[in-house]
Amino acid sequence: MPFDARAFSFSNTSLVVDPYPVYAEIREREPIHHSRMYGGSWLLFSYQDAAALARDPRLTNNRATLPIMALPEHQRGEFDEFVTFLRMWTGFLEGEEHTVRRARMDEAFRVLTPSLVAEVVRGVVNGLIDGWDGRDQVDLVADFARPMPAMVLTTLIGAPQSDHEQLDRWSDDLVYLFGASALTVEDVRRGWAGGRALMAYLRELAADTGGLPHRGLLGELMAQRDGGFGFTAAEACAQCVMMMFAGIEPARHLIGNAMMALHRFPDQRRLLVDAPRLWPAAVEEFLRFDPPVQYIGRLAAESFTFRGHDFEKGQPVLPFIGSANRDPDQFTDPDVLDIRRRPRHLSLGGGAHRCIGAGVVRIQTAVALRTLLDRVPDIAVREDPPPKWNAYFGFHGLESLTVSTSHVERRTPRR
């Protein structure tokens, strides 16, 4: 029975395990779909349309109001301060203001050199795997994919790594507001509470400027004052909240999704073992095949007509990169994992709003997965208990994945 596109939403639990067959149906029948989500929004499912609108200047990334658009109008006023906080995020700005702040962030990110990121990731990953010795199975999410990116990003920001669990929890409450669409006022309250807790934590950290590591991102953001502009302490903290929002849960899901993909396509895993030079290409293919972030959020900055459809100013416009990355008009055999392809995927955005942490994502994923497969060469997904997926798929990934770990290799020298 064909899927009823009217039932499409991030919170539709029938889609959380495998949304791709439904994407294919909608892409074939109605590639531009008007949805009831957020009070009326436009969803784009083809690669051509998603790529075009992701860079269209008639759309804005100033989507700080997107979570509260899921609420009845009489409940939205409670969150004016929350919206003001989100509008501090550079990723939600446009024009000259975005250009200036993005340039300062790019400068700050230079401290996160590939060698530094790889060193931090390798240390975290090896520490987690060391704890598996003597265990014949682990939950790859709880024991690896969940803590790893939180530990890495906490360290890179300049916070004590031991604080990663509470930062992860606060970040998750915030992320949920953009990953689900059937939101309640309690969901938004919880997300805003998480945002406030993160800001309070980071403000305290920023106040102790002498205690910030020289190479920490928070310290670098506070030090950026070239060209007459500098982040205030509050603005620097807000950028770090944005980085945790964008960098913890998606990275967690990318690791789990990649392991599931290699489980489904064991020939590709064998290829990586035989040809480790393919790891950079493999990461790109993991990002294409099952991206952790399934859509790009935009709002119409003006009313305009796109391919015969009238987009009204202020309406959410959501290019679905999860669908675009599986479009057969763009990719040969799109439902097959092929680490030798060079995919022009949309998973890290593009243009002025390209993912600022793309380099960190690529290094972290490659180092983490390669170290995992090197040290636990017989690691295998177990069918019992079955994998458990999260309850919403704007951010698509696993809550639990049991794997066998009968043999853990000793640490190898750094490569």
**CA atoms of 338 and 288, how far apart (whole Å):** 10
CA 37 – CA 318 distance, rounded (Å): 10
User: Which amino acid belongs to residue 164?
Assistant: H
CB atoms within 10 A of CB 368: 25
Q: How far is CA 250 from CA 146, 149, 187, 328, in A?
A: 10, 9, 19, 25
CA-to-CA separations, 345 to 61, 231, 330, in angstroms, rounded: 19, 32, 9
pLDDT at 210: 59
Nearest-angstrom CA–CA distance, 122 and 134: 21
Which CATH number do you get for residue 282? 1.10.630.10
pLDDT tens across 262-316, in order?
999 999 999 999 999 999 999 999 999 999 999 998 999 999 999 999 999 999 9
Does 120 fall in a domain? yes
Buried-state track 60-75, b at ≥16 Cβ within 10 A, e below 16: bbbbbbbbbbbbeeee
Among the listed residues 330, 247, 337, 413, the one whose alpha carbon sits nearest the alpha carbon of residue 47:
330
Per-residue pLDDT of the chain (415 residues; tens, 9 = 90+): 677 777 787 878 888 899 999 999 999 999 999 998 888 999 999 999 999 998 999 999 988 998 898 899 999 999 999 999 999 999 999 999 999 999 889 888 888 899 999 999 999 999 999 999 889 999 999 999 999 999 999 999 999 999 999 999 999 999 999 888 888 999 999 999 999 999 999 999 888 765 555 558 998 898 866 666 788 889 999 999 999 988 898 999 999 999 999 999 999 999 999 999 999 999 999 999 999 999 998 999 999 999 999 999 999 999 999 999 999 999 999 999 999 998 899 999 877 888 888 889 999 999 999 999 999 999 999 999 999 999 888 899 999 999 999 878 877 655 4
Cβ pair 343, 68 in contact under 8 A: no
**Any domain includes 415:** no
Residue 32 lies in a domain: yes
Q: Where are the beta strands (DSSP E) in 108-253?
A: 137-139
Residue 288 belongs to some domain of the structure: yes
290 within a domain of the structure (yes/no) = yes
Domain contains 132:
yes
Q: Give pLDDT tens digits for 161-180.
A: 999 999 999 999 999 998 88
Give me the number of domains the chain comprises. Answer: 1
Domain that holds residue 225: 5-404
